[in-house]
């Protein structure tokens, strides 16, 4: 049985790439909800319905577990999905906890989508760490669109980042948390805006590790060959253009390791 992944687009490949490296003996189905991209600017009610549709589709394909490879969908829908479905569901959240642990409550900047920033889940995570006074939040919605266009380091990308940071002092931060799976593709260019000591942290590796541990706990690890099937909104087979784009993004992520 395969493992299901879903995201609004192809940002969730940042988590899938980690899973493929850690568990090459699994098969995967990746659901890209491209018709509803981007989630970060939709209402919570819309996102919850998109997520439910994706999980229902992946369950119908026999997936033994589902990874919500989208911080926004996790923040809105993960608890309801876990109540509604019996199969294991793993979400991804902004890696605020490891950032706080690694930096000792020094100042942290979290970049995420507008919905992730507004939702109570992230605020609760920050409060539980007693880090309200050391964490700043910054919405970066256009990075999702840039990523989907495979535009990572153009003058337009740099100008957008510069404009969003105009009221921030990058040298004041000890860590930058990438709170959207699409944002991992901009590590290099973001690094040019922050001084060398600033750590850039995301939650993809921790999510893949949690998935692996959960499968092992349930005794359902393995049984595949590393095959990845791509589907789009509604479970339709992905067009060749998207499959090619996904392959290029995965290759790019491997080179970034």
Residue 257 has pLDDT above 80, yes or no: no
**CB contact set of 237 (below 8 Å; sequence gap of 6+):** 230, 231
Question: Between β-strands 135-139 and 108-112, what pairing exists: parallel, antiparallel or unpaired?
Answer: parallel
Residues 212 and 176 in one domain: no
Residues 125 and 145 in one domain: yes
| Residue with tokens 């026999």, as numbered in its chain | 62
| Residue with tokens 């959207």, as numbered in its chain | 180
As a residue count, the chain comes to 257
Residues 168 and 248 in one domain: no
Residues 112 and 196 in one domain: yes
* Highest mean pLDDT (candidates 104-108, 160-164, 184-188): 160-164
Active site (catalytic) residues: 70, 180
Question: Of the candidates 187, 202, 217, which is a domain's last residue?
Answer: 202
Q: What local confidence, expressed as pLDDT, does residue 175 receive? A: 96
Residues 123 and 195 in one domain: yes
Residue 110 phi, psi (nearest 5) = -110, 120
Query: How far is Cα 31 from Cα 41, in angstroms, rounded to an integer?
Result: 19
Question: Between β-strands 135-139 and 3-7, what pairing exists: parallel, antiparallel or unpaired?
Answer: unpaired
Q: What are the beta bridge partners of residue 236?
A: 232
pTM summary value: 0.92
195, burial (CB in 10 Å: exposed 0-12, middle 13-18, buried 19+): exposed
CATH number (domain holding residue 137): 3.40.50.1860
Residues 198 and 224 in one domain: no
Residues 176 and 216 in one domain: no
Q: Mean per-residue pLDDT for 87-98? A: 94
Question: Of the candidates 202, 228, 245, which is a domain's last residue?
Answer: 202
Q: Which band of pLDDT confidence, cut at 50, 70 and 90, is reported for residue 197?
A: confident
Residues 81 and 22 in one domain: yes
Is the bond preceding 252 in cis, omega lying within 30 degrees of 0?
Answer: no
Residues 187 and 236 in one domain: no
Mean pLDDT for the chain?
94
Q: What local confidence, expressed as pLDDT, does residue 105 receive? A: 72
Q: What local confidence, expressed as pLDDT, does residue 119 receive? A: 87
pLDDT tens digits along 97-124? 999 998 887 899 999 999 999 988 999 9
Residues 56 and 110 in one domain: no
Residues 66 and 15 in one domain: yes
pLDDT tens digits along 6-17? 999 999 999 999
**CB contact set of 250 (below 8 Å; sequence gap of 6+):** 13, 16, 17, 20
Domain that holds residue 51: 3-92+204-256
Tally the domains of the chain: 2
Residues 60 and 119 in one domain: no
H-state helical runs in 119-257? 120-128, 142-148, 155-164, 187-191, 204-217, 240-256
Residue 62 has pLDDT above 80, yes or no: yes
């Amino acid at each position: 049985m395969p493992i299901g992944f879903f995201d609004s687009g192809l940002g969730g490949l940042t988590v899938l790439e980690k899973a493929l490296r850690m568990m090459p003996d699994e098969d995967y189905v990746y659901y890209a909800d491209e018709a509803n991209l981007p989630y970060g600017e939709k209402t919570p009610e819309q996102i919850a319905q998109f997520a439910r549709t994706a999980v229902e589709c992946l369950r119908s394909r026999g997936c033994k577990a589902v990874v919500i490879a989208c911080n926004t969908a996790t923040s809105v829908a993960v608890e309801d999905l876990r109540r509604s479905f019996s199969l294991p569901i793993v979400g991804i959240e902004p890696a605020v906890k490891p950032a706080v642990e690694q930096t000792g409550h020094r100042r942290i900047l979290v970049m995420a989508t507008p919905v992730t920033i507004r939702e109570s889940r992230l605020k609760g995570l920050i409060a539980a760490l007693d880090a309200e006074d050391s964490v700043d939040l910054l919405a970066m919605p256009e990075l999702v669109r840039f990523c989907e266009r495979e535009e990572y380091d153009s003058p337009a990308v740099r100008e957008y980042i510069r404009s969003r940071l105009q009221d921030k002092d990058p040298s004041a931060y000890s860590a930058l948390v990438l709170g959207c799976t699409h944002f991992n593709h901009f590590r290099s260019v973001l690094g040019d805006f922050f001084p060398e000591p600033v750590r850039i942290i995301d939650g993809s590796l921790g999510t893949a590790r949690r998935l692996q541990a959960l499968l092992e706990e349930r005794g359902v690890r393995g049984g595949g060959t590393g095959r990845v099937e791509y589907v789009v909104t509604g479970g339709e087979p992905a067009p060749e253009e998207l499959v090619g784009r996904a392959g290029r993004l995965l290759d790019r992520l491997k080179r970034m390791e």
